[in-house]
Structures are given as C-alpha cells and as structure tokens.
C-alpha cells in the first residue's frame, strides 16, 4: 500500500465538498457545510492564504482516500489540533493509523510545534479508540459542548506533547511527514 499526500487545489473542490456532505463524515464534523461549490472554492482559497493552517489529501496508491488538516491554534505556545476524515475504505483499512503518524511527524518535526490538543465528538468511537492507540492522553469530556442543528454533543479532549510523540512513534517505525521528509530518531 503506497500512502502519500498532496496539497488540495481548486480542482479538488467538488471531491472535498462531496466528501464533507456525506452523512457518515458530516455527522462528526463540528461545522455544517453547505452544498455550494463556490463556497467550497472560496474555503480552499482561504485555507491556502493562511499560515496557521496546513492540509493534505491522503492518497493510497495514487487514489484520493481522505483529507487531513493541522490548525495552529496557539502559535506562541506551539499548540495545534489535527482533523481528518477517510472517505474511501482504502484509507480506513491499514492506512488510518499511518496517516496520523505522518501528520504527527509533520506537526512536531516539520512545523516544530510542541503539543497537539484534539477535540473529538463523543459518538465518533473509531477516532476515540484511535487517539488512545496513537498515544494521546485523554484529558476529559466537555459535557453538552458542541451544538449542531440545535442538539448538544459531548466532546472528548485528548493531548500529546512532542516528547511523548518522540517516544511513542518508535512503536510505529514511521518517520516521514506529509511531504515525504524523514525525521529518524536521534
């Protein structure tokens, strides 16, 4: 299985919008997305103009399978959050954990940040399990925190430091980041 990443372009607007509108993906997103290709193109343009936002389309054997993003939430503190979704089964079978190893290598080595803090909807059981598998520490639950379509949802908080990832990534033996640069253990 060849896992790779590429930056989204305006030509990806339809693909990403279709993915974001899928019920199995949309239900775990924190924001609702309109079925509007022009808004999607504008969103991609805004993403490309930001220095606090990094994103990639995940590819398996050259086929787009999902999307991932890193948002630097506190630049002065070196803190980011990761977001991702898999739209194709090839991205969920075997590639899921590896995607996050590459994303974490990108956060801590390519971007030089010191901590990741993720918020995960309580009903996203697969991702909740994945956070623990990757070595995140469960911080707690924010009760009735997120509101979508008038309904409140619990949100789980997870965190991981650069030092924790430096030790945990040895288990996965994956040292590449999104851009294919290798960051071997020192």
CATH architecture of 3-172: 3-Layer(aba) Sandwich (3.40)
Confidence (pTM): 0.91
For residue 46, the SS3 value is: helix
What Å distances lie between residue 99 and 10, 127, 146, CA to CA?
Answer: 23, 13, 26
**Nearest to residue 146, comparing CAs of 116, 117, 122?**
122
Q: What are phi and psi of 60, to 5 degrees?
A: -120, 120
Q: pLDDT for 45-85, tens place per residue?
A: 999 999 999 999 999 889 999 999 999 999 999 999 999 88
Q: State residue 92's pLDDT score.
A: 53
For residue 139, the SS3 value is: strand
CA dihedral sign, ordered 50, 30, 155, 106 = negative
* pLDDT band at 88; cut points 50, 70, 90: confident
């Amino acid at each position: 299985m060849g896992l790779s990443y590429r930056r989204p372009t305006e030509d990806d607007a339809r693909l990403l919008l279709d993915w974001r509108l899928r019920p199995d993906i949309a239900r775990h997103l924190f924001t609702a997305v309109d079925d509007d290709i022009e808004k999607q193109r504008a969103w991609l343009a805004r993403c490309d103009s930001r220095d606090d936002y990094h994103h990639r389309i995940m590819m398996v054997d050259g086929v787009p399978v999902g999307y991932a993003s890193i948002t630097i939430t506190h630049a002065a503190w070196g803190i980011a959050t990761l977001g991702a979704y898999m739209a194709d089964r090839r991205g969920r079978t075997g590639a899921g954990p590896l995607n996050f190893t590459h994303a974490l290598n990108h956060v801590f080595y390519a971007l030089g940040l010191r901590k990741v803090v993720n918020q995960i909807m309580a009903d996203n059981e697969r991702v909740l399990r994945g956070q623990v598998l990757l070595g995140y520490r469960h911080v707690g639950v924010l009760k009735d925190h997120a509101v979508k379509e008038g309904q409140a949802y619990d949100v789980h908080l997870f965190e991981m430091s650069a030092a924790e990832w430096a030790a945990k990534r040895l288990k996965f033996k994956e040292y590449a980041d999104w851009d294919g640069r290798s960051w071997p253990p020192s």
